[in-house]
Amino acid sequence: MFRIGKTLVSEEIIENNFHCNISKCKGACCVEGTAGAPLEKNEAQLLNENFDKISKYLSPRAKKTIISNGKYVALNDGKLETPLIDSKACVYVHYEDNGSLSCGIEKAYVNNEISFNKPISCHLYPVRVKEYSEFTAVNYHNWFICSDACSLGNELKKPVYEFVKEALIKKFGNQWFLELEKIAKNKTK
């Protein structure tokens, strides 16, 4: 681990390679797991404000789940996350014609219908961020369903932090990312 400002960063985001390989996994991260995508409070508000533009990219079953459970759910600790359909698929999953999955929120963003991309927790993946009272932990999440992404990352020689550069800058700022790059270059010499 190393420190950048008030963050503690795992060296794994420098040491490991990663590049999503949708042609292999078909977007499995959107339908696997036991919890929805973590949301920041401002993202919940953005979902409320933009839902009409996002909803056309969602399945009828997703819309029904949202009517029953809401656009997001609050956990016992007050944290927010996206609801799941039958404890599996995120309600915001979009089913592509080729059988792959994508994010309905991101689909609306790419089509210039809304001004925010998918939730930052999804945009950062495979990086996971956890807030503590004194610092923020920035870790690599190694999930077996992403083995093809690790293989492609190795083939392309793309470290995790470079793969999620845009999201890291969005979350922590450009200066923070420049510091991370400097540390990474020194560690890989």
Q: What tens-digit pLDDT sequence spans the chain (189 residues)?
A: 999 999 999 999 999 999 999 888 888 888 887 889 999 999 999 999 999 999 999 999 999 999 999 999 999 998 999 999 998 999 999 999 998 999 999 999 999 999 999 999 999 999 999 999 999 999 999 989 899 999 999 999 999 999 999 999 999 999 999 999 999 999 876
> What amino acid occupies position 71?
K
Q: What pLDDT does 189 receive? A: 65
Q: What pLDDT does 48 receive? A: 96
- In the block, tokens 């029904």 appear at 64
Query: Checking phi first, is residue 137 left (phi over 0); if not, alpha (psi -120 to 50) or beta?
Result: beta
Query: Are 32 and 147 in contact, with CB atoms under 8 Å apart?
Result: no
Q: Is the pTM here over 0.85, yes or no?
A: yes
